[in-house]
Amino acid sequence: MSARRVTASWMRAGRRALAGFPVAPVPCEMWARRRRALAEAVTLVRVFYLCLFLILLDRCDSWEHWWHLQALSLLWPVAWFAWTGIRAGVVIVVTASLAGALVAGVMPHVRAYRVAAAAGLWVFAAFFNSFGVVNHALHVWVWAAVLFVLLPDGGVDHLRRCTGRAQRYLRVFWSAQAAVLLFYSLSGSFKLAGAALQISRGQVSVFSPTALARHAAVRLTEIGRSGPGAAVGGFVIDHPYVGWPLFLTALYVEVFSVVVAFRPALHRAWGVCLISIHLGICFTLSILFSWHMLLVGLLLICSPAAPLNATWWQVAGSLPVWGDVMAWAGRIRGRRAAARLWPGLAA
């Protein structure tokens, strides 16, 4: 067997393991599901650009402040402000990002417009993060926009005519979903790495009951005990055992997010969980990730790959760890049963 085939076979096996060994649907059902998913994905891409336009427009109350800026700590994509000056730079960035998002919203099937939207958003995000700190509010949108550049051109009818093209469209859309989920997994993984380090030093770690209370105490004192988190955050600090199970659940959701990309039955439930985590962060740490929540809603809660009628049992059976244990147990049981029926198969 050639190396290429071996690699492909291993990748297929890995994908199946990540997906929790799903039962393959019958072909007609699979094609119907794919047709529906394609139509939904095309609509969602358009909605993505229109939401992006509104997000950028929503900053209009800052335009006057930006107009009067005297100094910036420039990130490299907007280093050219040094030649144009801040005012001209701000005008260029704001105009280009708004125009790019709008034209891509009107004609998302044209790659040139999607490139314009991604480039506009990229420089806008760089400018937005040139105030002395890199926030991550727009990063997920930037990456989703960059990935959507790879979508094949054409409307839904044009895409449907060719299976390969439709498959490519869905794969690129899935990559945007997977990227967002990967970012959450990275965040969770670094928390686990931090926990390992702190446990080895004998410090309070992320698994400690006071972990959330300590984060909240630092954050709320940093901002003068203000914001929406002041009340609930204060309660969590005074009663750390209330926040402990929630924090551990959030850690589980974050760590295994990337696995969920391979399990469509979980897309909607995970989207709700991630938004709930953001609400929890808002009400304990006074940090609102509203743009993340919007994108999670678009890509996961509205996921075109999610089954229309997923039962609770299906969702529970797809859960990372629990679902995997069940799937592996089922496979082992199935093999034993098969070996009893056809002893030659085991050999």
CB 238 to another protein: min, Å: 9
Q: In the window 13-72, what residues touch another protein (CB under 8 A)? A: 68-72
Collapse the DSSP code of 123 into the 3-class scheme (helix H, G, I; strand E, B; otherwise coil) and give the result: helix
CB 236 within 8 A of CB 212: yes
Q: What is the rounded CA–CA span in Å between residue 190 and residue 14?
A: 23
Total residues in contact with another protein, by rule CB under 8 A: 81
Pick one of 37, 42, 44, 86: the residue that binds another protein (CB under 8 A). 86
Q: What is the rounded CA–CA span in Å between residue 53 and residue 50?
A: 5
List C-alpha distances in Å: 177 to 118, 143, 277, 305.
17, 10, 18, 10
Is residue 133 near another protein by the rule CB under 8 A? yes
Pick one of 165, 249, 252, 297: the residue that binds another protein (CB under 8 A). 165
Backbone angles phi, psi at 237, to 5 degrees: -65, -40
Is residue 200 near another protein by the rule CB under 8 A? no
Is residue 252 near another protein by the rule CB under 8 A? no
Pick one of 75, 92, 310, 326: the residue that binds another protein (CB under 8 A). 75
Q: What is the CA radius of gyration of the chain?
A: 24
Pick one of 6, 13, 193, 332: the residue that binds another protein (CB under 8 A). 193
Is residue 175 near another protein by the rule CB under 8 A? yes
Q: What is the rounded CA–CA span in Å between residue 266 and residue 260?
A: 6
Task: Please name the amino acid found at residue 15.
Answer: R
Is residue 5 near another protein by the rule CB under 8 A? no
Binding mask 284-303 for another protein (x = CB under 8 A): --xxxxxx------------
Q: In the window 202-241, what residues touch another protein (CB under 8 A)? A: 203-206, 208, 210-211, 213-215, 217-224, 226-227, 237
